Amino acid sequence: MTRLGEWLAESRNGVFFGGAGVSTDSGIPDFRSAAGLYTKNGGDSPEYLLSTECLHEEPEKFYQLYKTELVHPQAQPNAAHHHINTLIEAGHLTSVVTQNIDGLHQAAGTQQVFELHGSAWRNHCVGSEHHPATLEQVMAQPGVPHCPQCGAMVRPDVVLYGEGLDMDVLNGAVNALANADLVIVGGTSLNVYPAAGLLQYYSGDRLVLINAEPTGWDQAANLVIHGRLGETLGAVIEEMGL
């Protein structure tokens, strides 16, 4: 059995930590990649267009980009999402810490998901009552969506530039990583902070990085696999007989 297979077989409290690369096989582009959002935009920077400042001062610009580039309601979980859930159901992993807002881990059946950057599937108006709204309602309204109850603008429950992470989610992720006996990192360049900094809370010696390209964290990992996440996990699951 490969080292990853051996470690997973022994693990009872593993955590998967993932980023945008987990969902690219579902048709959701990694907007920091060469073909992603950062190379498509002229004029305003993506950091501005996806900021709390832009949302409140130029909501039309925000939603033009948000609806066309960041939200993909028709996307379905891919092999990586399903393999991760298989490892959770088998008792080798306990939870997922994700930087993604697409909800695909939950769609694959995973229940314990710490969404560091929030979820596009949760929305609420900015009025005093914070009325909830569905993603379907947000996408159905042209341009800037408004609350059918009070008329206030609706915003997604995602962390924008200029905003802090949700402390309950952050604390949950920190506790999961601090108590993990194995951490598998996949589909992320680990360049986005403070999310990437959470790995410092893992003090074990089974940090595994699975990425198509090298990352700045490779030297700190105990095992580095350069390959496709879905294929790598699929081979290990087959090896384990799951």
Q: Among 82, 83, 105, 117, which one carries the catalytic annotation?
A: 117
Taking the C-alpha atoms of residue 154 and residue 43, their distance in angstroms, rounded to an integer, is: 25
Tokens of 62: 């925000």
Q: How many CA atoms does the CB half-sphere of 79 hold within 13 Å?
A: 12
Q: Where are the alpha helices (DSSP H) in 159-228?
A: 167-178
Contact 158, 119 (CB under 8 A): yes
Rg over CA atoms, the chain: 18
- DSSP 3-state of 142: coil
Tell how far CA 7 is from the center of its chain. 24
182-186 and 14-18: which strand pairing? parallel
Per the rule left: phi > 0, alpha: psi between -120 and 50, beta: everything else, 16 is beta
Contact 42, 209 (CB under 8 A): no
- What backbone phi and psi angles, to 5 degrees, belong to 187? 70, 30
Report the C-alpha dihedral over residues 192, 194, 197, 201, rounded to 10 degrees: -140
- Is 117 part of the annotated catalytic residue set? yes
**Catalytic residues, which ones?**
117
